[in-house]
């Protein structure tokens, strides 16, 4: 790394942004959180405290260390002021390109020249934000998985102009957060994890459509023969069918390939409000 990381700004105080910020604070970094809707702050802190208390109860952190982490975590009402002293900025705002571009225009103008700018987006490659940021070489994807406090993987995706120093800085930061980062050397719709997950889901849907096996038996095969923790239909319900459909829509918009088009059965479930676990019904019914 060209210089040590000491201060981190996380943009977005939703479920992902707040957990990413907590990870940074737990790892010893002075961490600020900014959200365009300050009302998010009131809900974020008690949820984080409840999560961290459970982690302390399980022995993952000492109570004193957890309290010290909360002392390093703060919420700000000024994006520009927080960005001005940040060594790394991680954007975790809503998955809308116009919103993200506006954020990166402001970050590019406010963050110091050495600062690394990263987007947590799971669908939008950082090259879409390069011009807005004005510093494509200091920009990449740093994609955490939900729940960020627990999931080990972080996808680091470089755009064509991302410097080696930026990549190494983000990989090392992920390791200090206790994660196991993977590097995508070039941008591709869906990155690594979503492409692997999508391939399994497509085959599972094809097996179901052709009458080869039931949802339950396809899931059971994935668990008992392939040692997957969840079957593909269970996983879709867990992730959220709206999220699954959104990822497919984003990939299809990027490639235009018929094989990337959203599955009509998934789209139909979403239109019915059957989103999986979070709505109580998806491929399965949840009490």
Q: Which two tokens stand for residue 54?
A: 């459970």
Asked whether 218 and 190 are in contact (CB, 8 A), the reply is no
155 as an active site residue: the answer is yes
| H/E stretch holding 65 | helix 63-72
Which of 143, 159, 187, 234 is the catalytic position?
143
Which of 122, 127, 141, 245 is the catalytic position?
122
Per DSSP, which regions of 2-147 are E strands? 7-11, 30-34, 73-76, 88-91, 116-119, 139-144
Q: Which two tokens stand for residue 67?
A: 């309290």
Which of 155, 159, 234, 245 is the catalytic position?
155
| H/E stretch holding 112 | none
254 as an active site residue: the answer is no
Give the whole-angstrom CA distance, residue 237 versus residue 278: 8
Sheet order of strands, 73-76 included? 73-76, 30-34, 7-11, 88-91, 116-119, 139-144, 153-158, 180-184
Which of 187, 194, 234, 245 is the catalytic position?
194
Which residue numbers are catalytic?
122, 143, 155, 194
């Amino acid at each position: 790394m060209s210089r040590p990381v000491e201060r981190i700004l996380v943009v977005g105080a939703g479920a992902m942004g707040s957990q990413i910020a907590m990870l940074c604070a737990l790892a010893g970094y002075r961490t600020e959180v900014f959200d365009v809707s300050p009302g998010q702050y009131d809900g974020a802190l008690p949820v984080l405290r409840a999560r961290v208390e459970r982690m302390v109860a399980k022995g993952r952190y000492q109570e004193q260390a957890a309290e010290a982490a909360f002392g390093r975590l703060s919420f700000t009402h000024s994006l520009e002021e927080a960005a001005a002293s940040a060594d790394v900025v991680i954007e975790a705002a809503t998955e809308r390109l116009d919103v993200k571009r506006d954020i990166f225009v402001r970050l590019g103008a406010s963050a110091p020249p050495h600062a690394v700018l990263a987007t947590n987006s799971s669908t939008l490659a950082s090259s879409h934000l390069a011009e807005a940021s004005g510093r494509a070489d200091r920009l990449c994807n740093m994609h955490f998985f939900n729940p960020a406090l627990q999931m080990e993987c972080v996808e680091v995706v470089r755009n064509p102009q991302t410097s080696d120093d930026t990549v190494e800085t983000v990989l090392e930061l992920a390791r200090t957060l206790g994660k196991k980062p993977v590097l995508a050397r070039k941008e591709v719709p869906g990155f690594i994890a979503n492409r692997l997950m999508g391939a399994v889901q497509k085959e599972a849907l094809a097996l179901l459509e052709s009458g080869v096996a039931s949802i339950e038996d396809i899931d059971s095969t994935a668990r008992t023969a392939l040692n997957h923790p969840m079957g593909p239909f269970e996983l879709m319900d867990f992730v959220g069918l709206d999220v699954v459909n959104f990822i497919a829509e984003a990939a299809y918009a990027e490639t235009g390939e018929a094989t990337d088009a959203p599955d009509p059965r998934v789209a139909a479930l979403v239109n019915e409000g059957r989103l999986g676990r979070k709505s109580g019904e998806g491929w399965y019914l949840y009490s």
